[in-house]
Amino acid sequence: EAQVTQNPRYLITVTGKKLTVTCSQNMNHEYMSWYRQDPGLGLRQIYYSMNVEVTDKGDVPEGYKVSRKEKRNFPLILESPSPNQTSLYFCASSLGQASSYNEQFFGPGTRLTVL
């Protein structure tokens, strides 16, 4: 089944404790992206990747890191999480960049709480 998977689905952690949220897709998609969703603000893009070893900042990259060592995986790293990073996070992938006909396929979401 074609899908985007994220782990963990739920995470409660404490300020400053490094964490990684994994994202994997099995559709051979070139493009992957991370978003956070906060009430009233819609989905905001954190980072995106056009291909292996090619990543770039979205609108809210501060406090996050990503890597794209393999085409299928795009982990999101919070080196020192803070309470303002408490949010619902979505990973998405598509055949190519969003500026053309490429719809995004979303993962199930990761709800992160930073105490």
Residues that bind another protein (CB under 8 A): 31, 33, 35, 40-45, 48-50, 56, 58-59, 90, 97-109
Nearer to another protein, 56 or 70 (CB): 56
Cβ 83 to another protein shortest distance, Å:
22
Least Å distance, CB 22 to another protein, is: 16
CB closer to another protein, 15 vs 53: 53
Would strands 65-66 and 10-13 be described as parallel, antiparallel, or unpaired? unpaired
37-to-17, 20, 48, 68, 96 alpha-carbon distances in Å: 21, 18, 16, 22, 23
| Cβ nearer to another protein, comparing 11 with 98 | 98
Q: Shortest CA distance to 52 belongs to which of 34, 35, 31?
A: 31
- Closest approach of Cβ 14 to another protein, in Å? 26
Give the N- to C-terminal CA distance of the chain in Å, as an integer: 36
